[in-house]
Structure 1
Amino acid sequence: MDGEANSLETIINNNLNGYDLEQYNRIYYGRRNHLEVPIKESSKDKSEEFDFDIIAYSFPAKIEQIRPARIVKIGVIQHSIVLPTDQPISLQKAAIFEKVKVIIETAGEEGVNILCLQELWNMPMFVATREKHPWCEFAESAENGPTTRFISELAAKYSMVIVSPILERDENHSDILWNTAVVISDNGNVIGKHRKNHVPRVGDFNESTYYMEGNTGHPVFATRYGKIAVNICFGRHHVLNWMMFGHNGAEIVFNPSATVGGDTGSEYMWNIEARNAAITNCYFTAAINRVGNERFKSEFTSGDGMPAHHSFGPFYGSSYICAPDGVRCPGLSRTRDGLLIGVLDLNLNRQVRDRTCYQMTQRLDLYVNSLSKVLDIDYKPQVVYEKRK
């Protein structure tokens, strides 16, 4: 995108080197060396041909005497839409399928075990427009819709678990809509789904025009490669949302998102929230955001006090992976499609728990008691005032 910085990493690497760059990496990322993992030449060729970035990093754990290493390779994909938003729905979706299929196949050829796509990956982020027609036509069944069938075939082909966030049409309950992540197993079956727990209502930007808060709780999906959970977009702002996935046993929590930059956007929080969650809950996190600047025919406002406009963007990408010790990798580009791969040793989760004792010292009993009081209609905040004579 014209006028947009490619990435934070590009800015840093263009201005620091040697000792200063090493120290920046140590202080900001948590390690001097990013532990980059080699990519196949065939994957590099494909990324150049189809114009997307690809990079991989390792997150090792200490060698244990009793437990063998639990190595799992995860991937996240960020991408822009393909056709203008005034094109027929079927053509828009087909074009996105064609683009993303190449990147998914590349992930499969790289041996990725678990892959997560961005929020509402198979459509433009039209929820900002608050218009119903024709956007509701993108909605489909989570169990047997065309997107799930498309992803299931690729999951089975590459023995890869794939998290596919879509706009769900709940055909069993009055055709209502949900913002849903469908989890498809390595044999192509639907393991289950999770619906977005927290729906933004920021001024006149209100996603509840389309869907309300989800009703699936905090499910953790036991896959062949590990236990995973999905904290969809706005849920990253809610600490207890992250916490409950941890209490249900998640080893990796994906945060598929669609969020924009600018002075009123959340970009300055992006590098903090998923990282904080990884540290506090002692699991791996992967934050995924889309890229591009999507324009719509009708103007709309976005709760930012600005005049009506045709675009909600630009989305700032910057997808990244973080380990339970707070060590993270560089993010993908702010402007380009990309595949980010992480080679994780899940033993690191327990190793960090043993070292930090966060779970052992968290005092859930204290919080449960305090929260029960907060919910009381006659609640009085625990504020201590000075007693003046």
Structure 2
Amino acid sequence: MKNKIKAALIQHATSNNVDANFKKTMQGIRDAAAEGADLVVLQELHRSVYFCQHEDVSLFDLAETIPGPSTAALGELAKELNVVIVASLFEKRATGLYHNTAVVIESDGSIAGKYRKMHIPDDPGFYEKFYFTPGDMGFEPIQTSIGKLGVLVCWDQWFPEGARLMAMAGAEVLIYPTAIGWDPRDDDEEKARQLDAWVIVQRAHAVANGIPVIACNRVGHESDPSGHSDGIQFWGNSFVAGPQGEVLAHANEQDDEILFALLDKHRSEDVRRIWPYLRDRRVDHYHDLTKIYRD
């Protein structure tokens, strides 16, 4: 396995044309591989617009099985380019049973593993509980030829427990395909607070676990088909943080972009030696963490 991994994040806007979106993603993977990427990370639900702004049963037609057509196409490309791909898909497990799933494609084209989103939001503009059943696979890293990947999805990034459990199971990097943005009606100060919180919480996961964090978001304005809101302005800002929370690479808030960062496993090893959080955890006094709330 390589001690240094070149990661690429494919940040882009999407349209209602699923085929065009997928073509854009596939070209982005090719472009990333041409620049020497070993690992390519795609944004959350990259094949379509973020359809969870409203509830519509016809949108279940977007879901597909895993394995399925997208994993087959991505597998062929991964094998051709010799890259590992992390892709976020709307998984149809059975009729009436769907998940928000990240799948890892190995560089030989096989499926190395998948992760079903555990934390499912239900907020104005983010009605995911209508579409997705909470994951049932736990927080298990996925072994690949470039290392053990701790893959989670979007809303998971706000919960330190998921990051910690991945790290405890041996994850060498945390990866968050994401779809997050602003309500256009919010003022600039509120937008800044939200974006800062999003970056800070994920940099904190890197610090608390001594491993890099990758967050890949989308860009562009997507309207609300129901007309109940002004839609979402996805804020981009995809980034990679190192094991001390240092920002290794950072995309802008509006452009399609391929973001590159070099991940150094030796650096994580050095950081964990001087900041041994796992050594000093007091698990004998953490039992209340299994409660929803301490009344």
Amino acid paired to 2:70 = T
State the secondary structure of the residue aligned to 1:211. Answer: coil
TM-score by length of 1: 0.70
Q: Paired residue for 1:179?
A: 100
CA drift of 1:206 comes to: 2.6
Paired AA for residue 123 in structure 1: S
1:371 paired with 2:289, answer yes
Change (3 A) 1:132 1:353: same
Check the 8 A contact 2:241/2:249 in 1, yes or no. Answer: no
**Is it true that 1:74 corresponds to 2:2 in the alignment?**
no
Counterpart in 2 of 1:385?
Answer: none
| 1:284-333 alpha-carbon deviations (Å, 9 max, x no partner) | 1011110011124432xxxxxxxx2252x100000000011221134211
In 1, Cα distance between equivalents of 2:253 and 2:125: 26
- Inter-partner Cα distance in structure 1 for 2:125 and 2:34: 44
Alignment of 1:66-105 (within 5 A): 70-82=3-15, 85=16, 92-105=17-30
Say if 1:69 and 1:345, in contact at 8 Å, map to a contact too: no
Map 1:209-288; keep pairs closer than 5 Å.
209-262=130-183, 263=186, 266-288=194-216
Match of 2:235 in 1: 316
- CA-CA distance at 1:268 after TM superposition: 2.7
Whether the 8 Å contact between 2:84 and 2:105 is mirrored in structure 1 is yes
Please give the alpha-carbon distance, in whole angstroms, between the structure 2 residues aligned to 1:246 and 1:365. Answer: 19
For the 8 Å contact 2:75–2:105, the answer to whether it is kept is yes
Alignment partner of 1:360 is 2:279? yes
One-letter code aligned to 2:60: C
Of residues 135, 144, 147 in structure 1, which corresponds to 2:70? 147
2:128 to 207, 224, 236: 207
**Code of the aligned partner of 2:34:** E
Structure 2 unmatched ranges of 5 or more: none
Cα distance in 1 for residues equivalent to 2:113 and 2:278? 28
Q: Which has the greater radius of gyration?
A: 1
The number of residues matched between the two structures is: 288
SS in 2 for 1:293: strand
Alignment partner of 1:149: what SS?
helix
SS in 1 for 2:119: coil
> Helix, strand or coil for the counterpart of 1:298?
coil
* In structure 2, distance between residues paired with 1:72 and 1:380: 42
Whether 1:196 and 2:117 are equivalent positions in the alignment is yes
Provide the residue aligned with 1:36 in structure 2.
Answer: none
In the alignment, does 2:253 pair up with 1:331? no
Q: 1:298 to 1:115 in 2, by over 3 A?
A: same
1:101-125, Cα deviation, whole Å (9 max, x unpaired) = 2211011111211111000011110
**Cα deviation 1:67-123 (Å, max 9, x = unaligned):** x981111111111114xx3xxxxxx11101221222110111112111110000111
What fraction of aligned residue pairs are identical, expressed as a percent? 30
Cα distance in 1 for residues equivalent to 2:198 and 2:83: 27
User: CA offset at residue 204 of structure 1?
Assistant: 7.5
The equivalent residue for 2:269 is 350
- 1:164 maps to a residue whose letter is A
Residue by residue over 1:225-282, the C-alpha shift from the partner in whole angstroms, topping out at 9 and shown as x without a partner, is 1110212000111110111010110001111110012436632312111100000011
Q: 1:276 is matched by which residue type in structure 2?
A: A
Q: 1:204 to 1:97 in 2, by over 3 A?
A: closer
Per mean C-alpha deviation after superposition, the further-off stretch among 174-183 and 245-254 is 174-183
> 1:109 corresponds to which residue?
34
| Structure-2-length-normalised TM-score | 0.92
Q: Which has the higher strand share?
A: 2
Gap regions ≥5 residues in structure 1: 1-67, 86-91, 300-307, 382-389
Q: Within 5 Å, give how 1:5-44 maps onto structure 2.
A: none
**Residues 158 and 202 in structure 2, CA contact (< 8 A), matched pair in contact too:** no
Compute the displacement of 1:362 (Å): 1.8
> SS of 1:329's equivalent?
strand
Q: What is the RMSD computed on CA atoms of the aligned residues?
A: 1.9
The CA distance in 2 between the partners of 1:121 and 1:80, in whole Å, is: 9
Give the distance between the partners of 1:193 and 1:121, measured in 2 at CA.
16
